[in-house]
């Protein structure tokens, strides 16, 4: 069965493709094109459908397993088409159009406080966050967080570069970008430079809870 067939099968539980789209928070026209096979969704769209309906994302994506697993099955998490640098940085964060994914259990994600539809994976590049995060480590982000909510590790864009840093917000309004590797100096972002600091997400896991 194709993805469109599985989506149509799922829609029968909700009285059709249109009501399924409403349930999942997706435009009806978009859902119709997926069901007809004219287009295929991104992995993040599949995760959203699964999160809103309780359907198994793995079944939607591949047809494997059963359609409903009680919310405890594996959820495919999109991997971003960029290596967030723990050293130099790259210029953009772009979701992989071919939907390369890593699977995590939805129950485990929720225990971390991450909604599956906002979870994405990157690969750390560099050694500035050693020993907490090493070069090549998988890093799980909560992309719903777009501002500094606490002192933690974030993926951010600053001066056109993507960075993976421990962030501390001072009472003065200055933001410190820290590396766990003592060989790297702390960067200071003054209050008037804050518009140049873009938060892409907060790190929730990288081989262990952050």
Give dist(CA 57, CA 201) in Å, integer.
22
Architecture of domain 1-71: Orthogonal Bundle (1.10)
Q: What is the pLDDT of residue 201?
A: 93
User: By CB neighbour count within 10 A (0-12 exposed, 13-18 middle, 19+ buried), where does 42 fall?
Assistant: middle
**CATH, domain range 74-210:** 2.10.109.10
Q: What is the pLDDT of residue 90?
A: 45
Q: What is the pLDDT of residue 123?
A: 87
**Which position has the token pair 């599956």?**
116
Pairing of strands 161-169, 175-178: antiparallel
Give dist(CA 84, CA 137) in Å, integer.
11
Per-residue pLDDT 10s for the chain (210 aa) are: 889 999 998 998 888 899 999 999 999 999 999 999 999 888 888 888 988 888 888 888 888 776 765 444 667 777 776 656 665 544 344 554 444 557 787 778 888 888 877 888 888 888 999 999 998 888 999 999 999 999 999 999 888 788 999 999 999 999 999 999 999 999 999 999 999 999 999 999 997 556
How many of the other CB atoms lie within 10 Å of CB of 185? 10
Asked if 200 contacts 147 with a C-beta cutoff of 8 angstroms, the reply is no
Q: What is the pLDDT of residue 91?
A: 37
Q: What is the pLDDT of residue 148?
A: 94
Locate the domains of the chain by residue range: 1-71, 74-210
């Amino acid at each position: 069965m194709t993805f469109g067939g599985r989506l149509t099968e799922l829609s029968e539980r909700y009285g059709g493709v249109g009501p399924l789209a409403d349930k999942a928070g997706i435009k009806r026209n978009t859902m119709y094109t997926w069901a007809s096979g004219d287009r295929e969704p991104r992995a993040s769209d599949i995760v959203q459908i699964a999160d809103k309906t309780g359907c198994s994302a793995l079944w939607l994506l591949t047809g494997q397993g059963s359609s409903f697993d009680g919310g405890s099955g594996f959820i495919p998490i999109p991997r971003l088409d960029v290596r967030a640098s723990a050293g130099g940085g790259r210029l953009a964060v772009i979701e992989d159009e071919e939907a390369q994914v890593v699977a995590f259990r939805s129950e485990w994600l929720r225990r971390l406080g991450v909604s599956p539809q906002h979870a994405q994976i990157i690969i750390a590049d560099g050694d500035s966050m050693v020993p907490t995060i090493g070069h090549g480590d998988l890093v799980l982000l909560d992309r719903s967080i777009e501002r500094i909510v606490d002192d933690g590790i974030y993926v951010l864009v600053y001066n056109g570069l993507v960075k993976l840093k421990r962030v501390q917000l001072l009472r003065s309004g200055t933001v410190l970008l820290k590396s766990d590797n003592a060989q790297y100096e702390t960067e200071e972002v003054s209050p008037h430079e804050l518009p140049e600091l873009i938060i892409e997400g907060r790190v929730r896991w990288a081989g262990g809870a952050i």
